[in-house]
């Protein structure tokens, strides 16, 4: 069973990615889509190690996995910074006035 273990894990991981892909497809907000992309990116780092185990070249694919995890983290941080709209104090007060009126 040891030789089939990476293949089974890879196929199961791929099938379980489909619901997350559905969330990317119909996400009500943009944040849902980014969250789903982040989850799939993290799982792709695992999938790279699994592909390495299938081809018996784990020593090469582990480096890809490290680089992919790093890029995924950086992309998540960059997108959340891009969407981060910090409200100034004046704008917040104006909104409160609007809500009261």
Partner 1 sequence: MNGFQFIAASAGSEGGSLFPLHLFGMFLGFLGLIFFLGTAVGMMRFPDFYTRMHAAGKGDTLSTMLMLTGFALVTMEDFSLGSWLLFVKIMGVVLFIFLSTPTSSHALMRAAFEDDEMPMTEEDLKKSRKRGKKK
Tokens of 52: 């390495």
Number of residues that bind partner 1 (CB under 8 A): 51
**Among 19, 89, 90, 99, which residue interacts with partner 1 (rule: CB under 8 A)?**
19
Q: What are phi and psi of 29, to 5 degrees?
A: -115, 170
Report the nearest approach of partner 1 to the CB of residue 94 (Å): 14
**Among 7, 14, 73, 94, which residue interacts with partner 1 (rule: CB under 8 A)?**
73
Tokens of 1: 């069973």
Report the nearest approach of partner 1 to the CB of residue 101 (Å): 19
Contact 31, 83 (CB under 8 A): yes
């Amino acid at each position: 069973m040891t030789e089939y273990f990476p293949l089974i894990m890879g196929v199961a991981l791929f099938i379980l990615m489909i619901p997350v892909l559905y969330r990317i497809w119909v996400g009500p907000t943009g944040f849902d889509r980014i969250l789903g992309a982040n989850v799939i990116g993290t799982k792709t780092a695992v999938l790279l190690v699994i592909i390495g185990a299938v081809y018996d070249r784990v020593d090469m694919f582990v480096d890809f996995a490290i680089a992919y995890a790093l890029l995924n983290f950086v992309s998540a941080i960059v997108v959340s910074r891009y969407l981060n709209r910090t409200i100034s104090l004046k704008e917040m007060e104006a909104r409160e006035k609007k809500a009261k009126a």
